[in-house]
Each structure stands twice: as C-alpha cells, then as structure tokens.
Amino acid sequence: MSPRAAARLETLGFTKVYDYEAGKSDWLAASLPSAGRSAGEPSAADAVRGDDIACHIGEPLGDVAKRVRAAGKDTCIVVDDRHIVLGRIRGRALNGDQKALVEDVMQPGPSTIRPDVDLETVVNTLREGNVKSTLVTNQEGRLIGTVYLEDAQRKLDEREEH
C-alpha cells in the first residue's frame, strides 16, 4: 500500500496500518494470503522440501561430505551466516580433496526461484532444462528449500484429480 493510502486509512480511524513497501510479489513469495484469479493455485511453496544440508564456505569438504552422506543426500547448499545462498556442492564434487575448503569446490551462484512461482511453470522449466530440482529462496536470497520435479508433478496431478 502506498504511504498516501496508509495515511488516509489512519485518518479514517484504522490503528494498525502498514506501508508494505516490498510489494505484491514479495507478499506472495512469503506465502501470505492472497485473493484474485490465481489465488489458491499451487506454487513452488506447495512443493518445497526444507531438508537441505547447508554448509559454509570455510568448512573442510571432508566434514561436509560426511554430513551429506549421513543424511542420505548428494548435495550441500552453501550459505552465509544469514542463510543466503552462495553456491552448491553436489555429486562427484563431494569426493574431491577432503581437505579443500567448501569455497574452493562449490559451484557459485546456483539458479533459484521464489516460492510464489506457479507450480506448472516450475514443472515445465525443470523439464525443459532436463533438471530434477531447483532451489527456492526468499526475496533476500535466503534458502527456503528445494523443489523436486517429482514432488511438483505429484502436486499438480493431485490438483487435477480434485
């Protein structure tokens, strides 16, 4: 809402008025309630898993690889202290020099999407790119989780059945 609209609401007696500067896109990306044509349509937020293994750039690869394997995963998402996504280590890279630092072996700047992206778009994009998953972050780049193609497709199929 604009500052002018917020001020007008206050003059009408509303006491809890906020000027939400980030806008509609940020609101939807935060999975907050919405109305309109696309309200209720499945989005990335409906299929995101939050069980990613996170690591930091200064950690030894050997320590990270152990955590990743113990969790039955094959990927570690590199984040900073605020949980902002910096990179990713996956697959064979985890078998590299176990004394190397994460920073030296990570794939920097992986692609991400926001949680408000509609699920059909997510499925189509993953299929077209021939990839199995994509990272989901908030507007500040903080890790929310991962959407896997199989989960996203299952959610779409469930919607079609109802």
- Write out pLDDT tens, residues 40-85: 688 999 999 999 999 999 999 999 999 999 999 999 999 999 999 9
Residue pair 46/155 in contact by the 8 Å Cβ criterion: yes
Domain range list for the chain: 45-161
pLDDT band at 8 (very low <50, low <70, confident <90, very high): confident
Output the pTM of the full model.
0.79
Residue pair 2/17 in contact by the 8 Å Cβ criterion: no
CATH code for residues 45-161: 3.10.580.10
**Sheet containing 133-137, strands listed edge to edge, beginning at the edge strand earlier in sequence:** 48-49, 143-148, 133-137, 112-113
Q: What is the structure's pLDDT at 12?
A: 84
CB-neighbour burial class of residue 140 (10 A; exposed 0-12, middle 13-18, buried 19+): exposed
Output phi, psi for 44, to 5 deg.
-55, -35
Output phi, psi for 145, to 5 deg.
165, -155
Q: Provide CB contacts within 8 A for 110, sequence distance 6+.
A: 77, 85, 87, 88, 135
Length of the chain: 162
pLDDT at 124 over 90: yes
